[in-house]
Amino acid sequence: MGRRNKGDPVHGWLVLDKPAGRTSAWAVGAARRLLNANKAGHAGTLDPLATGVLPIAFGEATKTVPYIQDGRKAYAVSVRWGESRDTDDAEGSITGTSPIRPDFAAIQALLPRFEGEIDQIPPDYSAVLVDGQRAYDMARKGETLDLKTRRVLVERFALVGTPTLETADFLIECGKGTYVRSLVRDLAAALGTLGHVTALRRTRVGPFTERAAISLDTLADLVHSPAPVAYLHPVETALADIPALPLTDEEAARLRSGQRVRVPNTESGPVFATAGGHPIAVANVVDGEVQAVRVFNL
């Protein structure tokens, strides 16, 4: 039997426009096969119902995934009032109905209550770990869940319009760990009714916006173009929010080998070490010394 092809050493970020009806894992696998990449991962799961920005890291970019996961996210969401679902979105089964349909003014008046730092209970159908199991796996088995509240940041919860008496459209900007389905569920409860998400599109994750997002069909065409890596963003794109620290080639070699490098007059904290304009490592500066946390093999 021949040796299995493990793929090519592709490095960088791809901003994929995830299609509806597919899991994030499926989308990553499809993109990885198109690029024949040997390593890939994504930053921030999207539900199968959702579309939009799914940042995919290839090769050495996977070492910067946490910096994207911690970034701000933005969503466009559509809601239907008067009906709850067990998944809090249109893919689930109906669990209740209500005759109450809130109007524009009533919705607008309550939105400030859901902005800022708020406490939120994740949906039962979520990836939250409960005693080592994913909540969605337990929910599918019919198990009763008692998920704990968590503190999340909602920077913006804006009502865009009410196309019909039963529906409303919103724009949401939020921090890490915020569940849009929970926001909609809780807003509906505060309005004295029920509600669920009918459409969800993520428009931004950290530095990546939907303007940069490309579909799998477009990617399939681009991989055969003369410059097939033109659609990849550099590994260091994920590190735009931390200071860059230029080093000499000698200092970079020491950092790569695990040694600390003296950097007088440099403020303590995380840095992105470079040499000759090339990424070297994500590192920490403590008391004037820099030590590598993740070294890039580029």
Q: Which residues form the catalytic set? A: 47
DSSP state of 233: B
The Cα 180–Cα 71 span in angstroms is 16
Give the list of residues 6+ apart from residue 9 with CB closer than 8 angstroms, or none.
37, 38, 59
**Pairing status of strand 269-275 against strand 278-286:** antiparallel
The Cα 20–Cα 174 span in angstroms is 22
How many CB atoms lie under 10 A from the CB of residue 76? Answer: 17
Exposure string over 37-48, b if 16+ CB within 10 A, otherwise e: bebbebbbebbb
Please state, in angstroms and as integers, the Cα–Cα distance from residue 182 to each residue in 82, 86, 97, 285, following that order.
16, 12, 17, 38
**Burial label, 229 (beta-carbon count in 10 A; 0-12, 13-18, 19+):** middle
Closest CA to 62 of 282, 291, 289, 292: 282
The Cα 4–Cα 289 span in angstroms is 43
Q: Is the alpha carbon torsion for 43, 45, 48, 49 positive or negative?
A: negative
8 A C-beta contact, residue 251 and residue 259: no
